[in-house]
A and B are shown apart, each in its own frame.
Chain A
């Protein structure tokens, strides 16, 4: 068990390193460096700096050093929680991101729970009643869920909400709470706004997970231990819920490892359509304005978020599978 945990932890660290390198690459990709962009930015607002000043700035930020040194400098600042200054906002990146990261997490996690809540019972139903009418209906719905990119679904919901109910379905807060400090009332307001974006985000993943659950359970239902359970005299419901469903939970739990990155990914684009105050719209603005420190910080933080999600799914897997838990006992 310890070995398993250490291995997963080690992998998580490597992933973090990988993400940091990717982020650094993304920051450095646009032609020109931070100072060029800064000069262009200043020029746009009518002021300018001299060539000497620019060189001094380059030296200050270490931009005249080798790429490795730059990476090292950047990493050591990031590790201290300093993601640099956003050019677009002229404020520290952490300040600009603020609550948005947590809201991204809240939306993604809500979507994850919703995905499970829907996929588990439907997956079980579809496997146990294979080829029934309900199975076909859910399979069909699942396919449509897979085929509809979630931003399209968001667009369509927006349109119908606007057209037939005259309401703006976007946002995570009512108008009076958008700028308000955190309070119970604001949290409750958030809860009330959460279901729609979570549902939009959850749809494709749910469809996928239903298919995974159905396929796994169909496999498990054919295994001899199900016959054992029935031969004991257990009711059909108990025999199925206690044994094959439990076994099928395994791949179900490990699916978080890729479902969560997928949901975080999706939240970016859905947030743009639904106008959610997550990091999504901020990332797009930052990229369009080539505000690379802000964009890099967001990419990096999103990556870290998924690493944590994956780690949690590994622990969950360990908890439900005694073979992993007892490894090396």
Chain B
């Protein structure tokens, strides 16, 4: 009963988010109308090839897009429907309110544990700074809290490690520090941007288990960005599949794996190595590469690479976007089925 209640509350609702990068060659639309709901206490997986706009989505939510990127449209509602509803797209990036959201409401975990921490300061320095940014704790209290955080993320001998520099830690430990840093401001939403990509397989599994445990303990809403279908299957409750700055399919994780609706999702799933495959079977790949967002194909952006193309309609018209909060795919085949 409690599960369904929690499931109904939406922690973050993104609607028609559009992001542009102005350059000499013209305007590049990195995000072109992205909508999805992140439900409280659940894990939303965001999946797609490199360059499809996953990381831009994460940075837009935190309002830390690199110049010359700007949010050109859409809303990002924190606590939608509640009296405290805030549209992050309307806040100034460096405002006190937005900074309170960053780290305080939404934590961010990075892909590169090597470069995401500064080598010039100790782990403790960087962690304590994050703790004090979002609480009135004294230096001693913040230090105690930082040690506690390191213990929570499973770092042995945290009292000693707090004085270490990042380059003195292994990759796995560094990523744990990264997670501790994201949790330092006690956020209720955590965005993990490819948290395991740079790690070896054993460490990957440990980090994923850690994320799962922390999520359960703290009731965190997790937005997990990855290109790895295995990670999605392991972690996500719902999945948004992105292609060239748009959500092309949204579905509960079981549905997605059992009955993928978008040709792109099907192609992605075929590209996952399977233990059931016959020996020496060639791994399927998706033909071609993701086009540069500045050279977006007309009509459905996926049509040049789509093996199930219908014909002229795919090249000329854009399929309707997936309605937020519902399972569906942005594809003319889907519309045929519905009709």
Interface string of A225-250 (1 = CB under 8 A from B): 10111111111100000110011000
Does B184 belong to the interface (CB within 8 Å)? yes
Residues of B within 8 A of A (CB): 59, 62, 64, 66, 93-94, 99-104, 107-108, 110-112, 115-121, 126, 129-130, 133-134, 165, 167-168, 178, 181-182, 184-185
Q: What are the 8 closest A-B residue pairs judged by CB atoms, nearest first?
A: A233-B103, A231-B108, A233-B102, A233-B99, A224-B116, A232-B103, A225-B118, A232-B130
The smallest C-beta distance from A242 to any residue of chain B, in angstroms, reads 8
Is the beta-carbon distance between A246 and B181 smaller than 8 angstroms?
no
Looking at chain A, what size class is its interface with the partner chain?
20 to 34
Contacts of A246 in B (CB 8 A): 118, 120-121
Closest Cβ neighbor of B111 among chain A residues = A224
The DSSP consensus for interface residues of chain A is helix
Is the beta-carbon distance between A222 and B181 smaller than 8 angstroms?
no
Is the beta-carbon distance between A231 and B62 smaller than 8 angstroms?
yes
Is the beta-carbon distance between B133 and A228 smaller than 8 angstroms?
no
Known contacts A230-B64, A235-B94; is-contact A225 B104 (Cβ 8 Å): no
The smallest C-beta distance from B199 to any residue of chain A, in angstroms, reads 15
Is the beta-carbon distance between A233 and B116 smaller than 8 angstroms?
no
Is the beta-carbon distance between B181 and A228 smaller than 8 angstroms?
yes
Is the beta-carbon distance between A321 and B110 smaller than 8 angstroms?
no
Known contacts A224-B110, A322-B165; is-contact A234 B129 (Cβ 8 Å): yes
Residues of A within 8 A of B (CB): 222-225, 227-236, 242-243, 246-247, 320-323, 326, 329
Contacts of B99 in A (CB 8 A): 233-235
Contact of B102 among A223, A230, A322 (CB under 8 A): A230
Contacts of B104 in A (CB 8 A): 233
Is the beta-carbon distance between A224 and B120 smaller than 8 angstroms?
no
A-B residue pairs in contact (CB < 8 Å), sample of 16: A227-B108, A227-B110, A231-B108, A232-B103, A232-B130, A232-B133, A232-B185, A233-B100, A233-B104, A233-B185, A322-B119, A322-B120, A322-B165, A323-B119, A323-B167, A326-B168
The smallest C-beta distance from A128 to any residue of chain B, in angstroms, reads 10
Known: A227-B59, A246-B121, A247-B118. 19 other contacts (CB 8 A): A222-B66, A224-B116, A227-B108, A229-B118, A231-B108, A232-B103, A233-B99, A234-B133, A235-B99, A236-B93, A243-B118, A246-B118, A246-B120, A247-B120, A321-B120, A322-B119, A323-B165, A326-B165, A329-B168
